[in-house]
Amino acid sequence: MDRIGKLSTTLRPNQFPPAFWVLRSARVQDYQENRFSLPERKKGMMPIFSSDDHRFMRLALKLAARALHACRPNPMVGAVLVCRGSVVGEGFHGRAGGPHAEIEALAAAGAAARGATLYVTLEPCCHHGRTPPCTRALLEAGVVRVVVATRDPNPAVSGGGIAELRQAGLSVDVGLLGTCARRMNDAFAWHTVTGKPFTTLKLAMTLDGKIADSWGRSQWITGSEARGKVHELRSQVDAILIGAGTARQDNPLLTCRHSGWSGSQPRRIILSSRGDLDLELRLLRESPELTWVFVGEEAGREARERLESLGASVVACPADAGGLDLGFVVAKLAELGVQRLLIEGGARVAGDFLEAGLIQRVWFFYAPMLLGSGRSGISGNGEPLSLGRAFGLTRTSVRRIGSDLWVEGFLMDPLDLWER
């Protein structure tokens, strides 16, 4: 049994490290790519990749996954340099503004890079941003072949790096485990193409869809393992958004508190039309500099000044028919550097964002209990939907977390953006 198969038999699904899911997806795609016969490959459906090509690209994907929390807002990228069947250099993009994965691999390989093949999970850049172009470094190092998992999703530069390398005489093959590489960077692609945050709706509910009992009590519906998973997922986003009602009812901190976490905390966003929040809320008393409050026109000057006096940032927001203009909220968050947004309630906020078409993914945690009466997870102002107009999900998955179930699904698959 290989390392991946052995790992899957010794760990429960909620214990798998991020790299496991990358490698597991890569194995699935190995099968999907190998369904094509040799004649079909020769007709141009895709390049012919060897078993060694697959093995080295899986290693590059594993390296990319190591940057899960470190490289935002940049994409996760891994690179492996191979010469005569042996790895001579490897690297990943560890932080924004730092060396790209290709440069790290070249530095590790040194002179051994000459005549080598590079396996990289994202197209090498050919423009000068915070760092010089990677294509130039590859040419100067004497790399002779480049295998790219996927092109850059940015329409302004997509294909440019590949074209430059080919024009210089390098052999460049594209598409090996590309779906897996693209899925690693859903949020990056969405933000790059649309200019908006990639937004996930998270709810913890009973099996009959209740987030609280009839008295508003919700602590705790899900078990400790599911709540721990939520803290882990929070570390993957830039900001967490709730409505004023949830702030008052639950008085949350909205921080990452899972074991071993030492990174930065996400921004906390509160939507409050009147700005009349209790000044003793933990979001305003503990690290208030991380809290942004979006208020409407009805919020008076005194209310805004009280919030700002505690250290919170107040953002004036125009109104629409249902309350605050959520399109403005999303655009403003993107302007403030939020690439990944997590919405944690309440029901009205969830329904309004859903009806506005501003949700791309859902994380629903279901506890094995029924409430019957109680508060539903999603409510909105729009007209009731028929079954024919229901919001469909794609790329759905279900995992067991302790005694609870974690359902993930996409309302808009970011994979489609890479094909434009």
Q: Catalytic residues, which ones?
A: 102
Q: Decide: 63 and 79 in contact? Cβ < 8 Å.
A: yes
**237: Cβ–Cβ under 8 A, 6 or more apart, which residues?**
200, 266, 340, 341, 342
Cα 360 to chain centroid distance, Å, stands at: 11
How far is residue 286's CA from residue 310's CA, in Å, rounded to a whole number? Answer: 10
**DSSP H stretches of helix in 11-123:** 18-34, 38-40, 51-65, 101-109
The residues, any chain, with a CB within 8 Å of residue 171's CB and separated by 6 or more, are: 144, 145, 146
In angstroms, rounded to a whole number, what is the distance separating the alpha carbons of residues 150 and 105? 18
DSSP element (H, E) containing 361: strand 361-367
Residues with Cβ within 8 Å of residue 281, at least 6 apart in sequence: 247, 248, 251
Contact 249, 221 (CB under 8 A): no
How many Cβ atoms are within 10 Å of 200's Cβ, its own excluded?
A: 23
CA separation, residue 83 to residues 88, 138, 203 (Å): 7, 14, 49
Going by their DSSP bridges, the two strands 117-120 and 145-148 should be labelled as parallel
Integer distance in angstroms from the first to the last C-alpha of the chain? Answer: 40
Q: What is the dihedral of CA 120, 124, 129, 132, to 10 degrees?
A: 90
State the Cα–Cα distance between residues 28 and 407, nearest whole angstrom: 20
The DSSP secondary-structure symbol of 107 reads: H
Collapsing DSSP states into helix, strand and coil, what is residue 88? strand
Q: Which amino acid is at 33?
A: E
The CA distance from 191 to 238, in Å, is 12
Distance, in Å, from the CA atom of 279 to the CA atom of 286, rounded to the nearest integer, reads 11
